[in-house]
């Protein structure tokens, strides 16, 4: 085999397998250790942790479609090679690499610009978001320890429920690792906004793309507070409409769990919302102006240490956290009602790490 042929095969091998153990064997026969994709446009490096799950798979597909992504790392404890092979066949430019098992977590995280964490078990009928805590808290803690070690400057999007507790857990893990940057840690509450936009659009009879509903507070039940008085463009709602919309937005997750009748929770709509939010983060990293989203973040907007509200995203991550603005009497009442429950969830997350 001449030098030119060997060089060409070596180049192909670099695309076929990311592992440093990948090698040429038996006179140029390639060992396919990992699933792969050829490509490599300029852009950002993104990791999805929990890529084989109900949210992770469609989310990974949507991130492969994003032109701002140049490298996409897919990690899970099982089934990642198959998911990676499947997604890698999509004719978009992002290079896809799969990682499976705890021993490959660090390799999945090195050099990432954005880490998205949907890992964990889904909510099942009769299960509260608090029930999820016992399992998902440990998963998030382990994954964030990997982030702290391998890509401490990455923006981290937490999807794993209960977000009201898992974001504080992530913050405590990063503090322990000496790498905590509140500007780069965000709980993804975008699904609450997506639902709010959809449900409001149904009531007023317009395209949901034309609606922007701020949703503040937290990401569970009554901690979800849509600010219908601040809908853009402005609409007038009756008392009955406000109560209907608020309740439906707050219970949107339960609506899906019950409709799926034991087969799962919100996965497709969550993946859609998470991909929209991740795209906003990437546009912010690129330096685009006016990138504003709602997210659950470290906050001084209220007396609570974490709170979901509008934030402006940029190269630093969160560059500005916006105040709540004027609230209606109904919203002020809802704000006071949610604080106790939200604080309890935050404290539970913090305590789980500090114990």
For the chain, the 3-state helix, strand and coil shares in percent, each to the nearest 5, are 45, 20, 35
The verdict on whether residue 19 carries a ligand-binding annotation is no
Q: For residue 323, what is the DSSP state?
A: -
129 carries a ligand binding annotation: yes
Q: Is 136 annotated as a binding residue?
A: yes
Establish whether 123 is an annotated binding residue: yes
Structure-derived torsion over alpha carbons of residues 293, 46, 129, 242, reported in degrees to the nearest 10: 20
Are 304 and 346 in contact by the 8 Å Cβ rule? The answer is yes
CA pair distance 44, 286, nearest whole angstrom = 9
Q: Is 54 annotated as a binding residue?
A: yes
3-state secondary structure of 215: strand
User: Is residue 159 marked as binding?
Assistant: yes
- 37 has binding-site annotation: no
On whether 161 is known to bind a ligand per the annotation, the reply is yes
315 annotated among ligand-binding-site residues = no
219 included as an active-site residue = yes
Q: Is 178 annotated as a binding residue?
A: no
Q: Which of 3, 21, 219, 283 is catalytic?
A: 219
Q: Which own/partner contact pairs does 200-208 have at CB distance under 8 Å and 24+ positions apart?
A: 200/228, 200/231, 200/235, 200/245, 203/237, 203/241, 203/244, 203/245, 204/235
Residue ranges for the known binding site for substrate are 123, 129, 161, 195
| Residues acting as catalytic residues | 219
Residue ranges for the known binding site for NAD(+) are 50-56, 76, 136, 159-161, 270
């Amino acid at each position: 085999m001449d030098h030119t042929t060997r060089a060409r095969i070596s180049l192909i091998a670099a695309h076929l397998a990311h592992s440093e153990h990948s090698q040429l064997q038996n006179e140029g026969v390639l060992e396919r250790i990992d699933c792969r994709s050829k490509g490599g446009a300029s852009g950002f490096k993104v990791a999805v942790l929990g890529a084989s799950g109900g949210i992770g798979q469609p989310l990974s597909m949507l991130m492969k479609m994003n032109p701002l992504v140049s490298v996409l790392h897919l990690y899970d404890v099982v089934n990642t090679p198959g998911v990676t092979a499947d997604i890698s066949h999509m004719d978009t430019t992002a290079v896809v690499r799969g990682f499976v098992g705890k021993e490959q977590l660090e390799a999945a995280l090195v050099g990432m610009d954005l880490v998205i964490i949907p890992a964990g078990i889904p909510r099942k009928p009769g299960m509260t978001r608090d029930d999820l805590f016992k399992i998902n808290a440990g998963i998030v803690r382990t994954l964030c320890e990997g982030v702290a070690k391998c890509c401490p400057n990455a923006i981290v999007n937490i999807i794993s429920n209960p977000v009201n507790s898992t974001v504080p857990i992530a913050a405590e893990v990063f503090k322990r690792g000496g790498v905590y940057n509140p500007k780069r840690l965000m709980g993804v509450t975008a699904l609450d906004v997506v639902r709010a936009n959809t449900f409001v659009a149904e009531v007023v009879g317009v395209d949901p793309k034309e609606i922007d509903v701020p949703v503040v507070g937290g990401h569970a039940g009554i901690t979800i507070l849509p600010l219908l008085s601040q809908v853009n463009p402005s609409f007038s709602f009756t008392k009955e409409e406000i109560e209907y919309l608020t309740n439906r937005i707050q219970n949107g997750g339960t609506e899906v769990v019950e409709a799926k009748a034991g087969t799962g929770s919100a996965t497709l709509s969550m993946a859609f919302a998470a991909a929209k939010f991740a795209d906003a983060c990437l546009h912010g990293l690129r330096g685009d102006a006016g990138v504003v989203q709602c997210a659950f973040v470290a906050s001084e907007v209220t007396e609570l240490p974490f709170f979901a509200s509008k934030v402006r995203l940029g190269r630093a991550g969160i560059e500005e956290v916006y105040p709540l603005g004027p609230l209606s009497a109904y919203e002020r009442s809802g704000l006071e009602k949610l604080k106790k429950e939200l604080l309890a969830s935050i404290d539970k997350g913090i305590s789980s790490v500090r114990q």
